[in-house]
Amino acid sequence: VELDADQLVAPGADALFRRTAEEVTEEYPLPILPVHFLPDKGPGSGGVWWPRFCHEDGDCPLQTLRWSHAHPTWTYFALPWLGKWLRRNLRDEHLPPRDGFNHSRLRVYDVPEDEDLLNVGLWEDGATKQWCKFETPDPSSFRILLQGVTDGSGDIAGD
């Protein structure tokens, strides 16, 4: 389970380890990311990779998942996959063009961010698993979880 610098580990996070071990296996050796909350992340949002997965009319038959947030979970079974995509980036590799997809040749180094590359790699390899994403609507909501203080709207107590 990977966290960004702007994230907190909340009570119950240990459940992610068990669920990750159940889902990222020898049979499915890919990391799993949560779906992103952005509703408009698609070909219209830019990105040199979209022609590889989408037709010019905006239909994206090779985008196997919704856009994922860069909060990957994995087990050791996914380490070769992570290494493959890191290698492709560091060695400045190119993915060959695809039949029926104009301008689909892709220079991996041109995929600028970790979130972008994780999405591209997962789609490229036909990933089919994604976590549901539940966002805390307001950072102050964590006060209830972190301090065990209720705001009168529920019975959440310290863990």
Confidence of residue 156 (pLDDT cuts 50, 70, 90): very low
Instruction: State yes or no: pLDDT of 159 exceeds 50.
Output: no
Domain membership of residue 156 (yes or no) is no
Domain membership of residue 101 (yes or no) is yes
Give the per-residue pLDDT at 52.
96
Domain membership of residue 9 (yes or no) is no
Q: Maximum Cα–Cα distance for the chain, whole Å?
A: 59
Tell me the three state secondary structure of residue 95: strand
Task: Please name the residue that has the structure tokens 């060959």.
Answer: 96
Domain membership of residue 85 (yes or no) is yes
Give the per-residue pLDDT at 158.
43
How many domains does one find in the chain? 1
Q: How far are the Cα atoms of 48, 141, 142 from residue 124, in angstroms, in the given order?
A: 14, 37, 36
pLDDT digits (tens, 9 = 90+) for 66-117: 999 888 999 999 999 999 999 999 999 999 999 999 999 999 999 999 999 9
Report the range of poorest mean pLDDT among 25-34, 45-54, 98-107, 150-159: 150-159
Domain membership of residue 88 (yes or no) is yes
Look up the domain containing 111 and give its range. Answer: 15-147
Task: Report the predicted TM-score, pTM, of the whole model to 2 decimal places.
Answer: 0.81
Amino acid letter at 64?
T
Distance CA 94, CA 103 (A): 13
Domain membership of residue 3 (yes or no) is no
Domain membership of residue 86 (yes or no) is yes
Domain membership of residue 153 (yes or no) is no
